[in-house]
């Protein structure tokens, strides 16, 4: 910390000296006509002789990432959004005041340069500087090993620094944008209308999760940050929009892990006159589309050392089949509450007093089945108890027409044929309230207006939610959700005074 303060004091002193000389530290009149990739695309293929003959001039800017001074000549690498390029400064090529300014540049400064491209004796494409200026003075030095910042805490907390010095991190977030754009295109091409629904809601609905609370002063009411947009999107089905989707943030007041961040991005889409089975096919098509757009058409990708094959059709198991096949439990154990409870206790997930048999079975699934589902796998027909918004199965009313998609040992999507019977929906909300009174903080609230909407008549439909952050993790081979969220939630940073206590 002491060394950092010394360096910063030296840089502040240098900045003050430059200002005394009439040099602006943060001017805003220099315009950039080219980026580093423009130089490569325009002349990267040319030989040294061709470059000398063309004398093609470029005007660009970037952050200084390396300086090598040889007295009357200086080599620097500057970096912009698209990469790095070398520049070459010679004393006799610049006015004296400009060359003296260059000698006062620090790593981290942002500079503007103009000049033609040429190749050095080693063949490196370089800009021969004919004009140069300071655009932004750096007052805080980059990390000593700026070429590869490794400290995870610093990387997440100071993402701007992470992006500055780690090229692969910039590529992850560029790919994230491409994935989201591709998903939008996929759904738009199929006639889905993108909409926006409230992120502050009077009732936290659409999922079973603990919400964040806030307060609206003018209205004098408590509000919740939404845990899901589902109930509003289905209101739109009632209103006559038959294919809708939303890509936006959800907020859940739960623990943080490599797979969970309290603020996360969710895709939800709904289609009238479709079933959960239709959406299994649509989901396969979506991931194949992403492979074509993001993975160069390759239906195989490697995630954390495991090869994932997206070639459809994907394997399918019912919820009970998966518990037997992957969990190794017998049907007798699964159908008997006491035996299921005993197994759950032995696996460290004992039943809570408000949990029924269906909830207990999902806890077994989470610990004994989910981690084993590496290849894309649909698990269907979940217990009614854990599916308060799903349509009952016609043949077996104890289960619902629902699937969850698992890839690489984690849930990627959740979908079901929607419950559109207002009487059944109200009864399930009432049971959720009973669970909440018994201590289940994640149980669903009663939403009278949603019941009213269903009473007007919602067409039969299917709906699905896909966690965008997990999809990005998959396609970028990132192990933690924090690696694909630009600014993940972290514990408060300790101040210097706190560290000294």
Q: Is residue 152 part of a domain?
A: no
- The reported pLDDT for the residue numbered 261 is 93
- The reported pLDDT for the residue numbered 2 is 53
Give bridge partners of residue 161 from the DSSP assignment.
none
Is residue 296 located within the same domain as residue 414?
A: yes
CA–CA separation, 262 and 246 (whole Å): 19
Under-50 pLDDT residues of the chain: 1, 146-147, 496, 499-501
φ, ψ (nearest 5 deg) of residue 178: -65, -40
Is residue 117 located within the same domain as residue 249?
A: no
- The reported pLDDT for the residue numbered 159 is 93
Number of domains in the chain: 2
- The reported pLDDT for the residue numbered 332 is 94
Q: Is residue 220 part of a domain?
A: no
Is residue 318 located within the same domain as residue 386?
A: yes
CA–CA separation, 430 and 345 (whole Å): 28
- The reported pLDDT for the residue numbered 151 is 79
pTM: predicted TM-score of the whole model, two decimal places: 0.91
Q: What is the CATH number of the domain that holds 290?
A: 3.30.930.10
160 DSSP 8-state letter: H
Is residue 395 located within the same domain as residue 462?
A: yes
Is residue 185 located within the same domain as residue 233?
A: yes
Q: Is residue 384 part of a domain?
A: yes
400 DSSP 8-state letter: B
Is residue 76 located within the same domain as residue 195?
A: no
- The reported pLDDT for the residue numbered 492 is 87
Which residues touch 458 (CB under 8 Å, ≥6 apart)? 234, 237, 238, 418, 420
- The reported pLDDT for the residue numbered 208 is 81
SS3 328: coil
Q: What is the mean pLDDT of the chain?
A: 93
Residue 16 structural domain: 2-142
Q: Is residue 179 part of a domain?
A: yes
Q: Is residue 393 part of a domain?
A: yes
Is residue 375 located within the same domain as residue 462?
A: yes
Is residue 16 located within the same domain as residue 56?
A: yes
- The reported pLDDT for the residue numbered 493 is 79
CA–CA separation, 81 and 37 (whole Å): 9
Q: What is the CATH number of the domain that holds 121?
A: 2.40.50.140
**Number of other residues whose CB lies within 10 A of the CB of residue 77:** 19
Is residue 100 located within the same domain as residue 235?
A: no
How, if at all, do strands 263-272 and 243-251 pair? antiparallel
Is residue 177 located within the same domain as residue 87?
A: no
Q: Is residue 25 part of a domain?
A: yes
Q: Is residue 494 part of a domain?
A: no
Encode pLDDT of 175-193 as tens digits.
Answer: 999 999 999 999 999 999 9
- The reported pLDDT for the residue numbered 145 is 55
- The reported pLDDT for the residue numbered 500 is 47
- The reported pLDDT for the residue numbered 498 is 53
- The reported pLDDT for the residue numbered 149 is 66
Is residue 410 located within the same domain as residue 288?
A: yes
Q: Is residue 55 part of a domain?
A: yes
Is residue 77 located within the same domain as residue 20?
A: yes
401 DSSP 8-state letter: S
């Amino acid at each position: 910390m002491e060394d950092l303060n010394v360096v910063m004091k030296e840089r502040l002193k240098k900045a003050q000296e430059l200002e005394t000389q009439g040099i602006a530290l943060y001017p805003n009149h220099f315009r950039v006509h080219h980026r580093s990739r423009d130089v490569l695309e325009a002349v990267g293929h040319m030989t040294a002789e061709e470059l000398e003959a063309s004398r093609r001039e470029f005007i660009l800017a970037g952050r200084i990432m390396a300086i090598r001074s040889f007295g009357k000549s200086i080599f620097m690498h500057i970096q912009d959004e698209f990469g790095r390029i070398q520049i070459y400064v010679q004393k006799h090529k610049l006015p004296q005041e400009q060359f003296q300014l260059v000698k006062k540049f620090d790593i981290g400064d942002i500079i503007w340069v103009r000049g033609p491209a040429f190749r050095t004796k080693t063949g490196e494409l370089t800009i021969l500087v004919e004009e140069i200026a300071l655009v932004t003075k750096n007052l805080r030095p980059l990390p000593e090993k700026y070429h590869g910042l490794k400290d995870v805490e610093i990387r997440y907390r100071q993402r701007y620094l992470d992006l500055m010095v780690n090229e692969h991190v910039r590529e992850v977030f560029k790919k994230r944008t491409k994935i989201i754009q591709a998903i939008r295109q996929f759904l738009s091409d199929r006639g889905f209308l993108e909409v926006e629904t409230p992120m502050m809601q009077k009732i936290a609905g659409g999922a079973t999760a603990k919400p964040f609370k806030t307060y609206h002063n003018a209205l004098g009411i408590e509000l919740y940050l939404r845990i899901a947009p589902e109930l509003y999107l289905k209101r739109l089905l009632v209103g006559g929009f038959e294919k809708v989707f939303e890509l936006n943030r959800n907020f859940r007041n739960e623990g943080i892990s490599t797979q969970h961040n309290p603020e996360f991005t969710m895709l939800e889409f709904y289609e009238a006159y479709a079933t959960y089975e239709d959406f299994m096919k649509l989901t396969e098509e979506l991931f194949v589309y992403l492979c074509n757009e993001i993975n160069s058409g390759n239906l195989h990708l490697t995630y954390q050392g495991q090869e994932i094959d997206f070639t459809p059709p994907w394997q399918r198991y019912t919820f009970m089949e998966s518990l037997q096949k992957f969990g190794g439990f017998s049907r007798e154990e699964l159908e008997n509450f006491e035996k299921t409870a005993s197994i759950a206790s032995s696996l460290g997930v004992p039943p809570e007093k408000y949990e029924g048999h269906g909830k207990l079975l999902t806890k077994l699934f989470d610990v004994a089945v989910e981690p084993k589902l590496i290849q894309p796998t649909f698990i269907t027909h979940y217990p009614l108890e854990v599916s308060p918004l799903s349509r009952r199965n016609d043949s077996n009313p104890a289960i619902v027409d629902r699937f969850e998609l698992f890839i690489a040992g984690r849930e990627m999507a959740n979908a079901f044929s929607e419950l559109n019977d207002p009487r059944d929906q109200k009864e399930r909300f009432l049971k959720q309230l009973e669970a909440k009174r018994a201590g289940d903080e994640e149980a669903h609230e009663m939403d009278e207006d949603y019941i009213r909407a269903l009473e007007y008549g919602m067409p039969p439909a299917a709906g699905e939610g896909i966690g965008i952050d997990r999809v990005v993790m998959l396609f970028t081979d990132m192990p933690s959700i924090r690696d694909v969220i630009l600014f993940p939630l972290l514990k408060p940073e300790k101040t210097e005074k706190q560290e000294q206590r």
